[in-house]
Amino acid sequence: MVEELARCGLRRAVLSPGSRSSPLAVALWRQPAIDVTVLVDERSAGFFALGAAQASATPCAVLCTSGSAAANLHPAVVEADEAAVPIIVLTADRPPELRAVGAGQTIDQLKLYGSAVRWFCDVGTQTADDAGLLHFRSVACRAYARARGEPRPGPVHLNVAWRDPLAPLPVEGDVTATSELALEGRGERPLHAVASAPPQPDALLLDELAERIAAAPRGLIVAGRQTDTALAEPVSALARAAGYPILAEPTSQLRLGTHDRDLVVARYDAVARVRPAALEPDLIVRIGDMPTSKPLRQWLGSLDGLRQIVVDAGYGFNDPSLRAESIVRADPAALASGLAARIDGSRADSPWPEAWRAAESSVAAAVDAELAGLDAPTEPGVHTALGGAYSDGDLVYTASSMPIRDQEAFVAPGPAAVTFLCNRGANGIDGLVSSGIGAAAASRRPTWVVLGDLCLFHDSNGLAGLRDVEAPVRFVVLNNAGGGIFEFLPQAEALDRGEFEALLGTPAGVEIERLAALHEIRYERLEELSRLRATASGHAILEVRTDRRENLELHRRLTDAATAAVAGVGERR
């Protein structure tokens, strides 16, 4: 099995120790083509694999022993399912005769993850004859192909039962296979080479979509979460040809980079709050997920006459507005390039993109002016400063809740070639520490993990994964003593303060400096955001302390300033 996984292209595995899983653990450990990370906590192991797979865009395996260990992988499986991340989950199990009879460390692991996996296989307890070995080889090839995407990438679950002996001890007469194919496979090639490529758009599709774009001068490209950094150039070329501004979330890989960013708009949240008629689109072309901004979702969803084209080669169905008129199953880069070649580019200097540029500039100036007068670090200010601190080759892994929203709102477009990742499939905060470390291990790139204090504490075990990671990982922890996002909800006003703190605020009361010391990680409390640029070498936990209520008031002031700036642009026009 492991030999075939390696021949298919598996290069990284994460395992948690256990007796029942030792046959596969030993095989993975001894396979030269596969880098193995050992983590005691199965939940951390699952998210480490998730981050590694997302950063490398290739499947990563995670192995655990039988029993409740397998249940601890479920959160990572759910995220991999929703976010289309390819992981291969290997759960060791007792053989059938030891199930449901009171044998220790045994639960029902058949289809444990339900519909969250692309494929489940109870691999069985085959003997080492020709049929048995070919079965193991074939299952491995099929699992890799299904995780990679047939057609949608995601998690695959192989439940592997072993009988004693579990140690790698030779047993006389145990291997009865005689077929060279069963014993050796196909040399360097996998038993089954499964070809896979995203669908290419045909000429008729390109012609028809180009006609729609030509008929809609007031159009937008809406770019949400997706991980292909090579998509920036063809999408920016399409924007130039069509005269369409690009509303780019950082995780679209379009807000920062060396591509043409002349039409990139970052401050669309403020525009969506005001809903000016002068900036109302007739057509949007969406690439990636819907951006995080709730005002943008609500604004676009309220426009009855808006035509929406969703480009999704991964066979998802990401349309929360339920209003898309076309969902296009085609390679986004090829589609964008083909459309750009069919559009004459005469609208690049039209009033439409200029109106969006004016709104962008006005909002940026208003927000910067509001932040400039503040002495102490703030949560919006951290993201503004980080945007200027990122360097070519950096990887940024951002937590859900407030960090991903503030990143979307306050990181300005810039030239640094940076990859932004997140766990926004299920939108949870669990496992974020491990995911960020896994991404750093797989990519070998300097990594920033931007998160809140609760997110850090939720996966503090994951810090153990840093020990074998060479690339510097810097955790920027926005410590507001609890769940900052809940201050923005109606519950903050409706509940007694004591109830709110107990049920939603939930301050942990843990000193981050002590947590850093426990794992022997350099710690610094940032009083000046200029210190972010001085922390590029080595692992570090950088704490920024803020106050939740003050943060709420600051966000309200920034929103007021931004929306006033948008309204001012509309009045001038």
What is the count of structural domains for the chain? 3
Distance (Å, whole) CA 275 – CA 488: 21
Return the pLDDT at 347.
78
Return the pLDDT at 557.
96
Distance (Å, whole) CA 158 – CA 143: 8
- In this structure, what CATH number is given to the domain that contains residue 484? 3.40.50.970
Averaged pLDDT for residues 335-347? 91
Return the pLDDT at 573.
53
Write out pLDDT tens, residues 197-207.
778 999 999 99
Return the pLDDT at 339.
97
152 in the same domain as 211: no
Return the pLDDT at 536.
60
441 in the same domain as 293: no
DSSP string of 418-466, one letter each residue: -EEEE--SS---TTHHHHHHHHHHHH-S-EEEEEEHHHHHHTGGGGGGG
Interacting residues of 182 by C-beta distance below 8 A, sequence separation 6+: 129, 130, 131, 132, 133, 134, 137
Residue 297's CB is within 10 A of a number of other CB atoms, namely: 15
pLDDT at 394 > cutoff 80: yes
β-strands 87-93, 219-223: how paired? unpaired
Residue 556's CB is within 10 A of a number of other CB atoms, namely: 11
Return the pLDDT at 152.
94
Structure tokens at 494: 């409706």
Q: Which residues of 195-205 are buried (b: 16+ CB within 10 A; e: fewer)?
A: eeebeebeeeb
Return the pLDDT at 381.
95
Residue-number span of the structural domain to which 274 is assigned = 203-357
User: Does residue 331 lie within any of the structural domains?
Assistant: yes
Write out pLDDT tens, residues 111-157.
999 999 999 999 999 999 999 999 999 999 999 999 999 999 999 99
Identify the band that residue 373 occupies on the pLDDT scale cut at 50, 70 and 90.
Answer: confident
Q: Which of 10-14, 263-267, 508-512 has the lowest mean pLDDT?
A: 508-512
Averaged pLDDT for residues 484-501? 91
491 in the same domain as 431: yes
Distance (Å, whole) CA 440 – CA 1: 27
Return the pLDDT at 318.
84
pLDDT at 170 > cutoff 90: no
Return the pLDDT at 535.
64
Interacting residues of 51 by C-beta distance below 8 A, sequence separation 6+: 397, 421, 434, 435, 436, 437, 438, 439, 440, 442
Write out pLDDT tens, residues 509-542.
889 999 999 999 999 999 988 888 776 679 999 9
User: Does residue 370 lie within any of the structural domains?
Assistant: no
540 in the same domain as 396: yes
Q: Which of 114, 138, 5, 128 is nearest to 62 (CA)?
A: 5
130 in the same domain as 220: no
User: Does residue 566 lie within any of the structural domains?
Assistant: no
Return the pLDDT at 531.
84
Residue the block writes with tokens 């426990």: 518
